[in-house]
Amino acid sequence: MAQRPFELSRTRVTLFEALLRARDKKGGKYQIIEDHDRKPMSYDDLIRAAFALGGKLDTLIKRRETAGVLLPTGVGCAVTFFALHAIGRTPAMLNFTAGIMNLRSACEAANVRKILTSRVFIKKAGLESLANELSKHAQLIYLEDVRKTVDIGDKVIALLKGAFPRMFAAKANPDDTGVILFTSGSYGTPKGAVLSHANIVANVEQCYSYVPFKPAWSFFCPLPMFHSFGLTGGVLLPLFTGHKTFLFPSPLQVKEIPKLIRETGANVFFATDTFAQQYARNAADGDLNCIELMVCGAERVKPETRELYKSRFDVELLEGYGATEASPVISINLPDNNKHGTVGAFLPGIEWRLEPVPGIEGGQRLYVRGPNVMRGYLDPTKPFGIDLLPQGWHDTGDVVDVDQDGFIRILGRVKRFAKVGGEMVSLNAVEAYAQTVWPDHLHAAVALPDSRKGERIILFTDHAGATSEELQAWCKANGASELAVPKKIVVVDEIPVLGSGKTDYVVMQRMAAERFAEAKAA
């Protein structure tokens, strides 16, 4: 049952106003945000800190200039995000795991000339060479240096502004650009999604009206804030709805995170299936039992992951679906209406349509439109630098089936189908077959051109004993198409993933092409 109806009128505010609205409701003294430094901040603390930092950044970043943010998930990143909004600047959240080529491309597309970062972060993350390369294209502003210049006078001014925030915050329109996020780049070069203030506030309101959040629930977020799932779901949703959130700088700390979840008593947790498995395997009994709402996105939830959480921690995994372009949540399963194998039903306010894809049976291409869907992609050659969506419709690139109850089953991306022997074969299905045969390992399927069959499927796996014969036997016994059996299985030490936890298919495709080229040369 929905907690309250979705009201479009509530979305017509800026991100900073949404924060102030939550402060008014919960009270300025309410401790709302904390990170691994264990120094919780109240709404008043957060707003004053945003004004104090914003006052200094106001002289360093030109008006209406896009500012790159290269920071890990934490209170410092949240303060920086709202400091930019307090002074009317647009943040572009930069993916520090994307590599210098993608980062340089992102900065050029978003016209980023200043990047806010941290010396401590650069050193701890081992990003010195990346920072050095970036400094050739943009000015790096280190927040430690900026904070050293904040004196007693600045603090008094921030105190005054914090008492009358609506008087001093920069004026903006809800339809102005609120943030620039870059797509994950799972299948190609990341694209810059231009999300308005209203887009993100709408997605928060859609989620909060659809999912029955309990008032006392708190969140735990280790997902990167350069990723829409982390920014909206783990940071802005709890901040705007009055739920405390604990931020952690990296989802890769698989041994530390379960302990912290237990220690903080967090009830809401977002993850990908890949990370969820690792957290469960590294958790002690009781570490994750406090979780009451756990949503997995970005990749399919495997049955063994679902069973692991249910049997060990009595946690029912909910699968959801989203896209950076949709701020990001499009659909989600609910605790009392959880259809395994689907990603739930559409959130309120989202329109959708399906179009057939030649050669693919049983599913159609999904288009979505709604208050949470972006204005368009960055494109310097277009008016205002944005390639606007046609009539507001976003082509998700996903092939789906929607049942009579409105629940979505994802069959794969259009790009994730290979044409083998004249038939379209889902690479996601190939991975699912391999996962069933070898459930304790990770697998990734890609396709390469083949002069005889059109394309050939290559399966990468971290299972040293994997063989085509074993997979073929399972497919034959279970009625799966013989075309879905990869003739070549390549064993690797590990399957590369992006910072968000998704499989990095760009790297996998390159590895396959290199190995295939080597084989031809031989």
> pLDDT by residue (tens digit) across 475-492?
878 877 777 778 788 888
Residue 358 has pLDDT above 90, yes or no: no
Q: Which long-range contacts (CB under 8 A, 24 or more apart) does 192-195 make?
A: 192/92, 192/106, 192/109, 192/110, 192/377, 192/378, 193/228, 193/324, 193/325, 193/374, 193/377, 193/378, 194/374, 194/375, 194/376, 194/377, 194/378, 194/386, 195/327, 195/374, 195/375
Report pLDDT for 185: 58
Judge whether 229 and 499 are in contact, CB under 8 Å: no
Structure tokens at 464: 């040293």
| pLDDT at 141 exceeding the cut of 90 | yes
Q: 421-521, which class in CATH?
A: alpha beta
C-alpha torsion 29→31→35→37, nearest 10:
60
Taking CA atoms, 485 is separated from 410, 442, 458, 464, 470, in Å, by 21, 16, 9, 18, 10
320: pLDDT confidence band, cut at 50, 70 and 90?
Answer: very high
pLDDT-above-90 percentage for the chain:
60
Rounded to an integer, the average pLDDT of 423-447 is 82
Q: What is the CA radius of gyration of the chain?
A: 23
Q: Are 263 and 218 in contact (CB under 8 A)?
A: no
Where does the pLDDT of residue 427 fall: very low under 50, low under 70, confident under 90, or very high at 90 and above? Answer: confident
Closest alpha carbon to 462 in 508, 484, 494: 494
pLDDT at 2: 46
- pLDDT value of residue 154: 86
Q: What is the mean pLDDT of the chain?
A: 89
Tell whether the model's pLDDT for residue 459 goes beyond 50.
Answer: yes
Query: How far is it, in rounded angstroms, from Cα 224 to Cα 73?
Result: 5
Confidence of residue 142 (pLDDT cuts 50, 70, 90): very high
pLDDT of res. 333: 96
What pLDDT digit, counting tens, does each position of 90-132 carry?
A: 999 999 988 888 899 889 889 899 999 999 999 999 999 999 9
From residue 282, alpha-carbon distances to 255, 269, 275, 296, 424 in Å are: 5, 16, 11, 18, 39
Give whichever of 24-28, 96-100, 413-417 has the largest mean pLDDT. 24-28
Q: Does pLDDT of 380 surpass 60?
A: yes
Q: How confident is the model at residue 521 (pLDDT cuts 50, 70, 90)?
A: very low
- The per-residue pLDDT for 3 is 59
Q: What is the per-residue pLDDT for 298?
A: 82
Q: Is the pLDDT assigned to residue 238 strictly greater than 50?
A: yes
Q: What is the pLDDT averaged over residues 23-29?
A: 96
Say yes or no to pLDDT of 520 above 70. no
Question: Mean pLDDT across the stretch 222-247?
Answer: 96
CA dist 292 and 237 (Å) reads: 17
pLDDT value at 308 more than 70: yes
Least confident of 187-196, 299-308, 403-412: 187-196
> Could you report the per-residue pLDDT of 169-206, keeping only the tens digit for each?
999 999 999 999 998 655 556 789 999 999 999 999 99
Name the pLDDT band for 522 (thresholds 50, 70, 90): very low
Q: Where are the domains of the chain?
A: 421-521
Structure tokens at 188: 């190609």
